Structure 1
């Protein structure tokens, strides 16, 4: 399975152009993010969080600034942590994003290069979900037992994370309904 783009759904046709414009201007994700109109309403945590990974912490700062200037809401401010440097935000369309660098320190110069785009899916049972994808022929590239699994899915990495843990990681309550993303 190769994921070439992610489709994010919005409430109506009027939101499509604005959302496409935001993702192009703030994130530079023109061909990796597509926008469509949802047939169902959503609320709260939607059960997924795209994650942009950069090599330089300075890129995280630049992207956060662009996203906030474009109307995004900070959920978790950018900060150093055990795993690196990053934070999370909610785009105007409601999608919760994680922006990070595995490096806590860099050379200070932003490169603008996205190292990886990961589609984090919140699931109730990571092991069972992993088995499902393996049965579909998707190869595992990283696995940390029942905590986190990442698949070799091409241009966009697909990863599984326990739903409640993903919500906590990005700074939102775990309650919500609706499906607004598709690989």
Structure 2
């Protein structure tokens, strides 16, 4: 099993990005930022999902993000599959979904983060899945266009989604070029995957 300890977003203004994520999510988000001048335009090929305890929490955190400089892509609303979610773009350009599967009224406005999901937009889901399985990941869910891998003891769940499908799901234009602006901290050794996403060695997770 390969465990993801955190993800690192590469941003042009590190201090502003750190302030944004601290203000919106507090200290428990397993996301770091670091400065980078690597050029990137449009969709960066990944999204980050944060699962919260109820619709009121989604509304509150979404509003806090907008007040801190984020842009709404899809305002929070009930979904056909029964959940409640909204999509926004952070000031650094990364795309986020805030979601819950809880029923209306459940969870109150408790902002506790229940799960963080990193979705990578890939060219070939089957090929990318095989490459990750070869590195020790195990498949938890396989829907063809979307595969979710077992998180193990990691702080972040990894999902693989066909790139254009991921962009459509999150309501953004799939066009983009340049750096992904993302590094994934993994326990067990760094590498670059078949879609160009960089993985970096992270300290072992505490028991």
- Coarse TM-score class (shorter-chain normalised): over 0.9
Distance, in Å, in 2 between the alignment partners of 1:99 and 1:52 is: 5
State the partner residue of 1:73: 71
Following the alignment from structure 1 to structure 2, what is the Cα–Cα distance between the partners of residues 53 and 113? Answer: 9
For these two proteins, the number of residue pairs brought into alignment is: 179
Q: For residues 85-144 of structure 1, what are the alpha-carbon distances to aligned partners after superposition, in whole Å with 9 as ceiling and x for unaligned?
A: 111000111111111112352336112111100001011211111111001111122221
Q: Is the 8 A contact 1:3 1:155 kept in 2?
A: yes
Runs of 4 or more, structure 1, over 6 Å off, are none
> Map of 1:93-112 to 2, 5 A cutoff?
93-107=92-106, 109-112=108-111
Alpha-carbon distance, 1:31 to partner? 5.5
Unaligned 5+ residue runs, structure 1? none
Q: Name the stretch that deviates more: 106-115 or 95-104.
A: 106-115
Which residue number corresponds to residue 165 of structure 1? Answer: 165
Counterparts of 1:113 and 1:27 in 2: how far apart (Å)? 9
1:82 to 1:24, Cα distance in 2 relative to 1, 3 A: same
1:133 — aligned with what? 132
Deviation at 1:57, TM superposition (A): 1.1
* Counterpart among 27, 50, 53 of residue 52 in structure 1: 50
- Paired with 2:113 and 2:80, the residues of 1 have a C-alpha distance of 21
CA RMSD of aligned residues (A): 1.4
Instruction: Give the structure-2-normalised TM-score.
Output: 0.82
Q: What is the SS of the residue equivalent to 2:131?
A: helix
82-91 or 29-38, which deviates more: 29-38
Return 5+ residue gaps in structure 2 as ranges. 185-207
TM-score normalised by structure 1 residue count: 0.92
1:11-49 deviation digits (Å, cap 9, x = unpaired): 2xxx10110110011122555111112242111000000
